[in-house]
Amino acid sequence: MLVHLLRAAGRRASQAAVLSRLAVPAARSFATDAAPKPSGGGGRGLALLLGTLGLGGGLYYAHQQGMLDGVFGAPPAQKEAVKRDYGAVRKAIADLLEADEYDDGSFGPILVRLAWHSSGSYDKATNSGGSNGATMRFSPESDYEANAGLKVARDLLEPVKAKFPWLTYADLYTLGGVVAVEEMGGPTIPWKEGRSDMDSGNACGPDGRLPDASLDQKHLRDIFYRMGFNDQEIVALSGAHALGRCHADRSGYVNPWTFAPTTFSNQYFTLLRDEKWSKKKWKGPLQYEDSSKQLMMLPTDMALIWDKKFKPYVMEYASDEEKFFKDFAAAFSKLLENGVPRTQGEAPAAASPAPAA
Ligand code: HEM
């Protein structure tokens, strides 16, 4: 019970940090800020002794709890158990998702987008970009227009990285998307650890490798064929737009794609197939709206139903959710794996471990 209360309190604290940054741009506070001067006076020796004992006790407690593992290393007996507990990592990510105050009540969709954008820079011809390296932490990639808003997701995951210092950001950003899809009711996504982190922005790929929502099917093919995907995989991946919404201050577009933006489903395809989509009359960029005017489609979403080679897949996924789940899991797993160096003969990505109880 106490564990649950503490966990909930911890989750609230890290979410609150992200939410407060969203509401009010936080003034940066530096670790080098001057510390308050000690006040002298009687009883100083005793205070010093008590202070030392307190600090010693605190450090011992923190060490026992594994809070200092990043500094001193875990005690030998714990080391192996602590080191590779991906079930515990998955649990820590899952615990962060639900947030009544944020968007539609979940950080899940933006974690899926983080996983996708950190992987979607891949170029098959040069084997550059992709999720390995987690280069989106650095400028210039963090500032690319397509990545606007993703700092929210990166900040949200910081406490998970702090809790599991052995985990790489590149593994964390991809596993975040996997856990989010699964927690929101989607399929199990094969995922494998082993990505490493670059330590500067020198390795960032060039801008312009992610899709531009205002363009057409030719552009979609240029972008996704470059990563090594085919038409069917392009349509399957696009089904992630069942989740989340557009934000005027990030992409310039507004509204969600579906009525259930925190549930992974094939609703994106049924809506594409069944709704009458018309151009939204407003001063913003061209987007389409349904008859209720609450939902949206981007020009690139509409391209999937207008293009005669894409359309059959839209129709298939609209009528067969199971097929969509299966194809999405395969394509999303491939996306997260693109460009990750693997030794020859290494086992392929497999279903990720179940979260710790
Ligand atoms: C096909 C080309 C794609 C284009 C042009 C595109 C474009 C966009 C745009 C403009 C947004 C709104 C961002 C904002 O304002 O916050 C968005 C959100 C989103 N995209 Fe895509 N996207 C594409 C493919 C994908 C793929 C392949 C995935 C994942 C497999 C994905 C997952 C998402 C998710 C989950 C959101 C919602 C994020 C949130 O709620 O904060 N998208 N996308």
Print the SS3 string covering the chain: CHHHHHHHHHHHHHHHHHHHHHHCCCCCCCCCCCCCCCCCCCCHHHHHHHHHHHHHHHHHHHHHCCCCHHHHCCCHHHHHHHHCCHHHHHHHHHHHHECCCCCCCECHHHHHHHHHHHHCCCECCCCECCCCECHHHCCCHHHCHHHCCCHHHHHHHHHHHHHCCCCCHHHHHHHHHHHHHHHCCCCCCEECCCCCECCCHHHCCCCCCCCCCCCCHHHHHHHHHHHCCCHHHHHHHHHHHHCCEECCCCCCCCEECCCCCCCCCCHHHHHHHHCCCEECCCCCCCCEECCCCCCEECHHHHHHHHCCCCHHHHHHHHHCHHHHHHHHHHHHHHHHHCCCCCCCCCCCCEECCCCCC
Q: State the pLDDT at residue 19.
A: 73
CB-based contact 335:191 (threshold 8 Å)? no
Instruction: Give the number of other CB atoms < 10 A from CB of residue 278.
Output: 11
Is the confidence at residue 96, as pLDDT, over 50? yes
Residue-wise pLDDT for 43-66, tens only, equals: 454 444 445 545 554 554 444 444
pLDDT higher at 225 or 32: 225
**Annotated active-site positions, please?**
117, 257
Mean pLDDT of 177-205: 97
CA distance 309 to 306: 9
pLDDT higher at 116 or 50: 116
CA distance 345 to 284: 51
Q: State the pLDDT at residue 28.
A: 35
Block residue for tokens 């875990």: 74
Q: State the pLDDT at residue 8.
A: 60
Structural domains of the chain, ranges and CATH numbers in brackets:
86-210+335-351 (1.10.520.10), 217-330 (1.10.420.10)
Cα(211) to centroid(ligand 1), Å: 9
Ligand 1, atom 17: nearest CA belongs to which residue? Answer: 246
Q: State the pLDDT at residue 355.
A: 53
- Residue 332 in contact with ligand 1 by CB distance below 6 A: yes
Q: State the pLDDT at residue 127.
A: 95
- Residue 110 in contact with ligand 1 by CB distance below 6 A: yes
Is the confidence at residue 262, as pLDDT, over 80? yes
Mean pLDDT of 298-303: 98
Q: State the pLDDT at residue 3.
A: 46
Ligand 1 pocket mutation, candidates 114, 116, 267, criterion most atoms within 8 A of CB: 116
Mean pLDDT of 99-119: 98
Q: State the pLDDT at residue 346.
A: 84
Q: State the pLDDT at residue 64.
A: 46
What mean pLDDT value characterizes the chain? 86
Residue 322: CB partners within 8 Å, gap ≥ 6?
Answer: none
- Residue 108 in contact with ligand 1 by CB distance below 6 A: no
Is the confidence at residue 261, as pLDDT, over 60? yes
Residue-wise pLDDT for 264-275, tens only, equals: 999 999 999 999
Q: State the pLDDT at residue 332.
A: 98
Percent of the chain with pLDDT over 70: 77
pLDDT higher at 35 or 9: 9
Mean pLDDT of 191-216: 96
Q: Helix 151-163 to helix 169-183 angle, to the nearest 10 degrees? A: 110
CA distance 239 to 233: 10
- Residue 213 in contact with ligand 1 by CB distance below 6 A: yes
Q: State the pLDDT at residue 232.
A: 98
pLDDT band of residue 244 (cuts 50, 70, 90) is very high
CA distance 192 to 336: 9
CA distance 120 to 108: 18
